Amino acid sequence: MLIILSILTVIGFFLKFDFREWLPPADEKLQYLSSQDKNLLENNVQEKILQNKSSQAKNLQDKILQNQGSQDQNLQDENLLEKKFPEKIIHDANVWNSSSQDKNLQNRNITENKGPCGCEKCFSKDDKLLMSSLNHSIEPFLSATTKLSEDIFQWWKVSYYHQNFGRITVGIPVSSFMWPRPDTCRTCAVVGNSVNLKGSGYGSLIDHHNIIIRMNAGPTKGYEEDVGTKTTHHVMYPESAVDLDNSTHLVVFAFKIQDLEWPIKALTTGFYATSYRKVTPKIKANKDLVMVLNPAFMKYVHEVWLKRRGTYPSTGFMALVLALHICDEVHVFGYGADSDGNWSHYFEVLTNKNLKTGPHPGNHEYNILQQLANEKTVQLYKGM
């Protein structure tokens, strides 16, 4: 009996004992470090939350300042335009500005008018010449999947084309292009090189368009007051090539078969083929923003719009028809001959008074442009 009582006493002692007191010193240290790490983690989380809140507040403040600055700049630009041009030129603020306020106005116009585009006036059956000539089934630009019919091969010297076309279209990436949509109003300025731009003061007006198409050797530096500073697309061919900045699309008009090969070599190893005029072997341009006009589109312009007059269309006329295909509103600057009938440029002094339009039907092209202006399909600015 005494033995049993002794055993029960020992068991009771162990049940009351706190075994944590028997933990070795090393385990106590680990337990302390674990608690310390937990506190450190909690502190880091709290600091991260505070940093995120501070960053969000700063981003919100920067956004407010940016919006305020953008609104101030738009107001300054609008005031400048109102002072510089007659009221009839600036007929609607949503034509020129891309601010959020203007976009909301455009969206309201779409909802109320239910038109095919977001502009005040969209192309319609009232544009008789346009509707009788426009053909959206023809792709304006070449791509690796472009297929041309035999008659286009013949129009473009089939043997050379078959030999080189596949290699060329694989070599040049076709720049993505945002086509017009019913919820937008895309305004385009097509800027020619006519001497009538001199003293016009159209520069700020041109720069307010969404797309600004310039052509050939037409410069902006030194002529900003009359022709503007911005360019989104620059049309050229080898003999008229100039350097471009990294944000401008190079749009190649290939009037000759060898012109197809030019963009690849001019942007890499150099183009050294002979031509009727000196060609700059290399140019500066963004190779990812190269676009080559489809020869089918060139043929379509020549046959449908010009009724086969002239050998082929001019750069300026094809740029105009291209704009009619990709824009909602088209505004035309710097087109037409001078008072003597010469097609001089705003950036040069004309020495040959007999200079005409060569293989291009210049007078016929201008008459078509004038008809488009009379039907209010395009807005034509004739300069000074």
Catalytic hit among 161, 300, 312, 381: 312
Catalytic hit among 208, 209, 249, 360: 360
Q: Specify whether 360 is catalytic.
A: yes
Q: Specify whether 237 is catalytic.
A: no
Q: What distance lies between CA 265 and its chain's CA centroid?
A: 24
Q: Which residues are known catalytic residues?
A: 312, 360
